[in-house]
Amino acid sequence: MSSDFGRVIRVSIFGQSHGEAIGAVIDGIPAGEKIDLDRMDAFMRRRAPGGKGASQRKEADRVRIVSGLVDGYTCGAPLCGIIENTDVRSADYKAMADIPRPMHADYPAHVRHGGYNDVRGGGHYSARLTAPLCFAGAVCMQLLERKGIMLAGHLLSAGKVQDAAFDPVNEEPKVLLQLLEKKLPVIDENAGEKMLAAAEEARQAGDSMGGSVELCVLGLPAGIGEPPFGGVENRLSQALYAVPAIKAIDFGCGREAALMRGSEHNDPYTVEDGRIKTLFNRHGGILGGLTTGMPLLLTCHFKPTPTIARQQQSVSLSKMENTLLSAGGRHDPCAALRAVPCVEAAAAIALYDLYLEAKAHGHPLLA
Amino acid sequence: MSSDFGRVIRVSIFGQSHGEAIGAVIDGIPAGEKIDLDRMDAFMRRRAPGGKGASQRKEADRVRIVSGLVDGYTCGAPLCGIIENTDVRSADYKAMADIPRPMHADYPAHVRHGGYNDVRGGGHYSARLTAPLCFAGAVCMQLLERKGIMLAGHLLSAGKVQDAAFDPVNEEPKVLLQLLEKKLPVIDENAGEKMLAAAEEARQAGDSMGGSVELCVLGLPAGIGEPPFGGVENRLSQALYAVPAIKAIDFGCGREAALMRGSEHNDPYTVEDGRIKTLFNRHGGILGGLTTGMPLLLTCHFKPTPTIARQQQSVSLSKMENTLLSAGGRHDPCAALRAVPCVEAAAAIALYDLYLEAKAHGHPLLA
Amino acid sequence: MSSDFGRVIRVSIFGQSHGEAIGAVIDGIPAGEKIDLDRMDAFMRRRAPGGKGASQRKEADRVRIVSGLVDGYTCGAPLCGIIENTDVRSADYKAMADIPRPMHADYPAHVRHGGYNDVRGGGHYSARLTAPLCFAGAVCMQLLERKGIMLAGHLLSAGKVQDAAFDPVNEEPKVLLQLLEKKLPVIDENAGEKMLAAAEEARQAGDSMGGSVELCVLGLPAGIGEPPFGGVENRLSQALYAVPAIKAIDFGCGREAALMRGSEHNDPYTVEDGRIKTLFNRHGGILGGLTTGMPLLLTCHFKPTPTIARQQQSVSLSKMENTLLSAGGRHDPCAALRAVPCVEAAAAIALYDLYLEAKAHGHPLLA
Amino acid sequence: MSSDFGRVIRVSIFGQSHGEAIGAVIDGIPAGEKIDLDRMDAFMRRRAPGGKGASQRKEADRVRIVSGLVDGYTCGAPLCGIIENTDVRSADYKAMADIPRPMHADYPAHVRHGGYNDVRGGGHYSARLTAPLCFAGAVCMQLLERKGIMLAGHLLSAGKVQDAAFDPVNEEPKVLLQLLEKKLPVIDENAGEKMLAAAEEARQAGDSMGGSVELCVLGLPAGIGEPPFGGVENRLSQALYAVPAIKAIDFGCGREAALMRGSEHNDPYTVEDGRIKTLFNRHGGILGGLTTGMPLLLTCHFKPTPTIARQQQSVSLSKMENTLLSAGGRHDPCAALRAVPCVEAAAAIALYDLYLEAKAHGHPLLA
C-alpha cells in the first residue's frame, strides 16, 4: 500500500474500518504554527456519520493528538492524531469474506493480499479512512488560511438534483465561509432539501445514487505547481483519489473543454487594478500545471454507493461459483453527501505541500 | 519543477522546446530486458510532428540512447535517451516574452520563475517534452507486454466528431494491435477522416478544437495498485497530467457514474471458465484503487490548442496594460490528434511502476 | 523533520520523549506475514530502561498495535504501533529551555524551531524515539529471518573495555542467536562485567563514556543494494544515524582500510562447495554498494552520553550570556550499552527495504 | 539501481564508464541563478584523470549543458549536463567478464544483474561516474556560496603520509579558497609531495594504497537538518557513499569519541560577539542531526584502489573454479588522490538540498 502523500510535508494514514484505531501522521509542518483544535473538531464533525441521509454508525471521531503539539503550537515533530474505533460491529461483514460485494474493493483486495486482507467493513479500503484524511486536511486548511488561501466545496449534484455553481471569476470568500459552516454544504438551500429527499427515496428503494462535489480555492498566488509530474492537476488528483468512489475529476471546464473551439475556450488576459486576471475562468485557475492566481475550480464525480439493500449477483470465492448477495451493514445511500469535507481535506493537503515546495524551489513571491 | 515520476522505477525528463536537447532518464528497470529499438522508433514516429492536421515542425525525433543498454539488453544502469533539437526557430516567440499567450503556461511560468523561464516555444512547459515521455513509455510498453499486458488508445472524439468506443468487456487484443499501427488511431476509419477534415476546417478558421482519447489496457492481473494515495487512478492521473492540455480524466463510466443509481451502475460478478469476471465494466477495471482483472478503461479530455491564428486579448507584462496578440509559430489545430501515443506512454510508465511495486509488496501472483 | 524512511516499505516515526505517546507506522509490508508479538516484546525489552548501567526511568514500553494485523497476520494495511508515555517527569527539564545542554540537540533545535521545539526530555530528538524504531526493526527482523537473513550486534567496546570481535569469515548463526538473548550483548562475558563496572564508575564520577557496537548480518544473498545513492552503505548509514550519538560507522575494515596497501586489503575470491566466497572479509560483505554474500560487518561508534552530573559551561538563550549548567534528569552513563538493539533495528529496516527493492528491480535470485 | 538523490532538489546520474556518454540531471533548482561555467569547468578539471599519481586515461570531461540554462541563468527547468566518453578502450576489460576483480563490484554486479551488467570499466559502478557527480556538485557549490556557505576538502592522509588538519574552531575561508585552487589539495605542501611519491612508489610495486579526505564547511546556519532519518549525518552519508571506495566516515571526532569521557568530549557553549559558539568543536558542527553553526567537519576514509598490477587469486564464473588474475587497464594507485572534489561535490549536493528543505519546513532564519 502507499498510505503516504507529499514531498515537503508527508501525510501517512493508518488503520482499518473495524480495527482498534485509525489515524494519521503529518510530518514537515513548520514549528510555531497554532492549531485551533476546536475548529479542527468542528471540521471533523462535518464528515462524521449520523446525519440525515448518512450511515447510522455513530462515533465521536474525536482526534487525540499524541505528538507534535506543545501548548497548542506545532513543535516541529510529526503531528500524530489517533481516532479510536468505538462503535464496531463486525458480525455484519463475516459472510462477505467469501462473497465479494460488487463494485467494492473486496475482490481485488482478496487477490492482492492473498486472502489476508481485513474484510471487516472494507478494512483499509473503507471510507472510514477519510476520518484521518480530514484530520490532516483540517490542519493544512488552517495553515493555508494563514497564507491567505481559503477553500470550500459544495454538493454540485446528488442524483439528478443540481446545486448552483460557484462564480468562476468573482466568487466571494463569504460564500466559502458559509459553506464551511453548513451541515449539508450547498449554495442553494432548496437544492439541499431535494438532495436529502432523493437520497432517502433511493434508500427506501434499496438503492443508492451518485453525486458530484465542486471545490473552489481562493487566494492562491500564481505560479504554484511542479509540472510536468507534480503539476497542480497531477498532485490534486493524486490526493483526491484517496477519497473513495471518485471516478472522474474536471479541472475548470474539464470534459466540456474537449467539445469547445479554442476561440470559445481561451480566457483572455486583462489588467485590473494593477493585477493580471483572466476575463473568464474556463481554465479553472490552472495552466501548464501552475496556478494562475484565478480561483481554482474542480469537480469530483462520485459513483453511487456500491452497497445497496437489493439482492445482487456475486460469486463465492471458495466455491468459485455464482451466488446471490444481500448486503447488510450500515451505509450512506449517497457517498457524495458526506464527501465534501473529504474533498476539501485532500485538496488542502496537496496544495499546502505544493505551496511549501514552490517556496523551496525559489518562487519569488513566497521566499 | 518535479520532472521525475515513479517509486520503483524513476523517470526523469529534461529539456526545453528550443533548448539544445531534450531527453529522459529511466532508472530501476531490471537488467537483461531486450529493448527493440526499431519498435521504439516506430512508436516515437506516432507522435512526431509533420503529419496531416499537425504542426509543420519537422524533426526526426530520433532517440540516441547513451546509457543503460549493452548489445540491446538493459544492463541495470539507468537508460538515458537524448533527442537533439534540430529544427529550432526561436524568432517566432521573441515577442511572447512580454505578451503571454492566453491559455498557455506563459504567464504563470513568468511569475513562478521571476521572468527567467525559457519562453522559447513554451520551454519546459512545451508539448515537445512529450517526446522523451514517449521514449520512456515505449520502453515500459515493451516491458509490460512481456508480462502479458497490452495497451492502446484511440481518438474517441475530435471536436464534435466521435469515434466508436472500445468494447468494455470483451475488447480484443487485435483491435489494440491495429490501433498501434495506425498513423491516426481511430476504430472507425470514417470518423478519422472526418476528424482530419474538422481539424483542417478549424485551422482555416484561425481556430482550434478539443478532443478526447480513450485508453484500453488488457491483461492486467487483479490486485495491482497502492491505495489510498497510490491507487491506480491516483498514479495514472499523476502521470497523465504530464501530457499538456488534459483537463479531465474519466475512469470507467467516469462522470456518468455520478448520475446513475447503484443498481444501474454496479457490475455483478460472475465465474466464467474458472475465472472471476464482471458482467459489465462500468468500473473501468479499477475498484478501491486496485485493478480487477477486467480491461482498464479511461478517457482523457483535451482542451482546444490554445494557440490560434485569430487575434486575442492579452496584456503586456512590462507595461501592465491590455494589448492584442497575434500568435505566430507552428501549432496543431487539435492537440488531441497527436496525443494518443502520449497517453499510452504516460499510462505505461505508471502501470509498469505499479506492477513492480505490487511485486515488491508481495502480490501473490507476481512473486 | 524527516521522520520517515524507506522506498519500498515506509517507516514513519512520531512522538516526543515526554509527549502523550510515541510510535511508528510501517507501510508496504506484504500481507500474510505472521508477526510473533511475544518475540517483538522480548526485543523491545532489550532496549527498555531500568537495567544496570542504564537510566532509572521505568516504562513497560509495551507496543499496542492498532492497525495492520488481523489474527496475528499482516493484512496489507500499514502497521501502527503506539507506546504510551506513562512515566513522565517534565519538571527536570524546565530550566533547560533557556540553558541548552552541551552536546545535545537543544541549541540547534531551538534555532531551527524558533523556540517552539518540545524541550521536555529532548522532545523528538530524544533517544526515547528509538523505542518505535525498535518496534519497526523487530518486525523487519522477523521478516528478514523468513528469508534466511539473521542479524545481531554486540558491544565491541564501552569506554576502554573491549569485547571480542565477530569472526569476519565464518561467524556462526548460534553466536548471533545467543547475543539476541543476552541482556547485555557481549561475546566475552568477562568484558561485559567490566563494561558495567566502568559505566558505574563513570556515573559515580559524574561523567559518562562512549562505546561502539559491532553488527553482523548472515544470510544476505549477493547483489542486494541500489548504488550509487542507495548502496548498502548509503542506506544503512541513512538509517543508522537515526540512532542518537553515533558519530562514525566503519564498514568492514573501515577506517583501517585507509592505512592499508591494496595487496594487504584485497580479499581474494575462491570457490568453496560450489559457492563463491572471499578468503578474508576486509570488505565487510559490501563491494560497490552491493552485498557480496559474505557476512555483512559494520561498527557504529557512539559518543559519550552528553548529559553528565558535573557542572558545565553553557549560555542563557534569553540573556545571551554565559552561565553554568548542572544537569538533572535520568540518563545512561554510556549510551552504547542500550544501543545494540537500536543498531540492529535500524539495520534491519534498511536491509529489508533493500531486499524488497532488489526484488522489484529484478534481482534474479529473488524473483 | 538508485541513481537519484534529494528531496527538494533531485540529482539523477546516468552512464557507464565505457558507454557513449555519462551525465546528470538536476531538478528543483530555483530559476534566475547564474551558473559560472568557467568555474564549473575548473572544478571538473580537479577530478579529471591525467595528473600525476593518477590514471593515464585522458578526457576533457567537458560538460555540455543541454537544458536548464538560458543566457547563463537557470530557467527553472532541469539542468542536464552530458559528458561524452571520448577515450574508450574496452579491450582491457573483456576477460574480466568471466574473472571478477577482487574488491571491485564485478562479482556482486554479475549476480545482481544476472550477467547482463556492463563489465567494461566497471560500467555504472565505475569511479568515472563521479564526473557527473562533480558537475552536479559544482552547481550546488555555487548556489551554496551565494548563501554564504563555502566548503573545501583536502587529503588528510595518503598511505601513511599525513597532512595538517583543519582548525576545527577558527578555520578561515581563505584556507578553503586556496585548497579549491590546488591541483593536489593539501594544507601542508610538503605532505603533498610525499603523498605523490608514496603513490608512485606503490604503483611501481604493483600495489595501491588507501587515504582519507577531510572536509570543512563554513557558514552553515544553525538548525539545518531533518532528523531522525534526514539528519545531516544521514544525508551526507547517503550522498558521500556514492563516491566509490569510501569505507568509513567520521563526523567531528568520529571514532575517537567512542574512547572519550563526556567531560573530555563535550563542547561547552559560549557567547562571543553576540553569537553562540562552542569553545571546541569535537561535535564537528552537528548535534542531534542538526547543524550548530560551527564549522562542519568530516573525514572520509578510502580503501586502497582494488586494481593492482600484482597477480591475484580470483575465480572463473563460467567454470566455477579458482584462477589467477592479472589486471590490465589504467588505474590510480590511490583513489583518494582524486577524490577530494568528489567528496566536496557529494557534500554540496546534500547540503544544498537540506538547506532548501529547512527553508520549506519553516526554518525561521531562512524564510
Give the pLDDT score at D52.
56
pLDDT interval class at B53 (50, 70, 90): low
**B362 contacts in chain C (CB < 8 Å):** 29-33
CB B357 to CB C360 under 8 A? Answer: yes
**A223 contacts in chain B (CB < 8 Å):** 108-109, 111-113
Residue reference for cell 464525480: A301
Identify whether the C-beta of residue D104 lies closer than 8 Å to the C-beta of residue D305.
Answer: no
Please state, in angstroms and as integers, the Cα–Cα distance from residue D142 to each residue in A361, D136, D138, D145, D225, following that order. 16, 10, 6, 5, 20
Give the pLDDT score at B49.
58
Residue C272: phi, psi to the nearest 5? -135, 120
Q: Which of A21, A27, A82 sits opposite C3 (nearest CB)?
A: A27
CB C365 to CB D223 under 8 A? Answer: no
Please state, in angstroms and as integers, the Cα–Cα distance from residue C23 to each residue in C11, C80, C145, following that order. 10, 7, 23
CB A12 to CB C15 under 8 A? Answer: no
pLDDT interval class at B161 (50, 70, 90): very high
Q: What is the percent of chain B where pLDDT is above 90?
A: 88
Give the pLDDT score at B175.
98
Give the pLDDT score at B367.
73
Please state, in angstroms and as integers, the Cα–Cα distance from residue A324 to each residue in A92, A98, A105, A193, C332, following that order. 16, 12, 18, 35, 64
CB A76 to CB C32 under 8 A? Answer: no
State the chains in contact with B (3 or more Cβ–Cβ pairs under 8 Å). A, C, D
pTM as predicted: 0.97
pLDDT tens digits, one per residue of A332-355: 899 999 999 999 999 999 999 999
Whether A10 contacts chain D with CB within 8 A: no
First to last CA, chain B: 35
Please state, in angstroms and as integers, the Cα–Cα distance from residue A367 to each residue in B5, B114, B354, C302, following that order. 26, 12, 36, 39
CB C242 to CB D225 under 8 A? Answer: no
pLDDT tens digits, one per residue of A102-161: 999 999 999 999 999 999 888 999 999 999 999 999 999 999 999 999 999 999 999 999
Which cell numbers in the block locate residue B48? 512526431
pLDDT of A49 > 70? The answer is no
Give the integer Cα–Cα distance in Å for D138 and C159.
Answer: 41
Whether C366 contacts chain D with CB within 8 A: no
B interface test, pick of D16, D86, D120 with most B CB neighbours within 10 Å: D16
**A362 contacts in chain D (CB < 8 Å):** 29-33
Averaged pLDDT, C175-185 = 95
Please state, in angstroms and as integers, the Cα–Cα distance from residue B265 to each residue in A64, A160, A209, A307, C36, following that order. 38, 15, 9, 11, 43
pLDDT tens digits, one per residue of A241-263: 999 999 999 999 999 999 999 99
pLDDT interval class at C367 (50, 70, 90): confident
pLDDT tens digits, one per residue of D205-235: 999 999 999 999 999 999 999 999 999 999 9
Give me chain A's average pLDDT, please.
93
Identify whether the C-beta of residue A266 lies closer than 8 Å to the C-beta of residue A260.
Answer: no
The more confident residue out of C59 and C182 is: C182
Q: Which of D1, D77, D114 sits opposite B32 (nearest CB)?
A: D114
3-state secondary structure C214-225: EEEEECCCCCCC
pLDDT interval class at C360 (50, 70, 90): very high
pLDDT of B199 > 80? The answer is yes
pLDDT of B323 > 70? The answer is yes
Whether B15 contacts chain D with CB within 8 A: yes
Give the integer Cα–Cα distance in Å for D149 and D346.
Answer: 15
The more confident residue out of D96 and C357 is: C357
CB B253 to CB A268 under 8 A? Answer: no
CA dihedral D235, D238, D239, D245 (to 10 degrees): 140
The residue of chain C with its CA nearest to that of A26 is: C14
Residue reference for cell 479531465: B248
pLDDT of A56 > 90? The answer is no
Contacts of C81 (CB under 8 A, 6+ apart): C23, C24, C26, C63, C64, C65, C66, C132, C135, C136
Bridge-based pairing of strands D73-74 and D79-84 is unpaired
Averaged pLDDT, D157-168 = 98
pLDDT interval class at D360 (50, 70, 90): very high
Whether D8 contacts chain A with CB within 8 A: yes
* HSE-up of residue A63 (Cα within 13 Å, Cβ side): 31
pLDDT tens digits, one per residue of C53-95: 555 555 568 999 999 999 999 999 999 999 999 866 666 556 6
Please state, in angstroms and as integers, the Cα–Cα distance from residue B104 to each residue in A28, A58, A267, B122, C82, following that order. 33, 49, 10, 8, 49
The more confident residue out of C126 and D88 is: C126
pLDDT tens digits, one per residue of B86-117: 866 666 566 668 999 999 999 999 999 999 99
pLDDT of D54 > 60? The answer is no
Whether D21 contacts chain B with CB within 8 A: yes
pLDDT of A93 > 80? The answer is no
Q: How far is D359 from chain A (nearest CA, A)?
A: 6
Give the integer Cα–Cα distance in Å for D73 and D354.
Answer: 22
Give the pLDDT score at A210.
98
pLDDT tens digits, one per residue of D164-206: 999 999 999 999 999 999 989 999 999 999 999 999 999 999 9
pLDDT of B55 > 60? The answer is no
For the purposes of burial, counting CB atoms within 10 Å of the CB of A321, is it exposed (0-12), middle (13-18) or buried (19 or more)? exposed
Give the pLDDT score at A94.
62
SS3 call for D296: strand
Give the pLDDT score at D89.
61
Q: Which of D112, D212, D258 sits opposite C223 (nearest CB)?
A: D112
Give the integer Cα–Cα distance in Å for B72 and B93.
Answer: 40
Give the integer Cα–Cα distance in Å for C314 and C323.
Answer: 5
pLDDT of A79 > 90? The answer is yes
Give the pLDDT score at C57.
54
Q: Which of A261, A301, A304 sits opposite B254 (nearest CB)?
A: A301
In order of start, what are the domains of chain C with their CATH numbers?
4-360 (3.60.150.10)
Q: How far is B217 from chain D (nearest CA, A)?
A: 28
Identify whether the C-beta of residue C112 lies closer than 8 Å to the C-beta of residue D358.
Answer: yes
Q: What is the percent of chain D where pLDDT is above 70?
A: 93
Give the integer Cα–Cα distance in Å for D158 and D184.
Answer: 12
**A31 contacts in chain C (CB < 8 Å):** 112-114, 116-117
pLDDT tens digits, one per residue of C296-327: 999 999 999 999 999 999 999 999 999 999 86
State the amino acid at position D322 in one-letter form.
N
State the amino acid at position B109 in one-letter form.
A
pLDDT tens digits, one per residue of C142-171: 999 999 999 999 999 999 999 999 999 999
pLDDT of A173 > 70? The answer is yes
Exposure string of B248-266, with b = 16+ CB inside 10 Å and e = fewer, is bbbbbbbbbbbbbbbbbbb
State the chains in contact with A (3 or more Cβ–Cβ pairs under 8 Å). B, C, D
Whether D45 contacts chain B with CB within 8 A: no
Averaged pLDDT, B279-306 = 98
Which cell numbers in the block locate residue D204? 611501481
SS3 call for A111: helix
The residue of chain C with its CA nearest to that of D128 is: C228
pLDDT of A59 > 60? The answer is no
Contacts of A356 (CB under 8 A, 6+ apart): A8, A9, A28, D360, D361
Contact pairs from chain A to chain C, CB under 8 Å: 180
Whether A147 contacts chain D with CB within 8 A: no
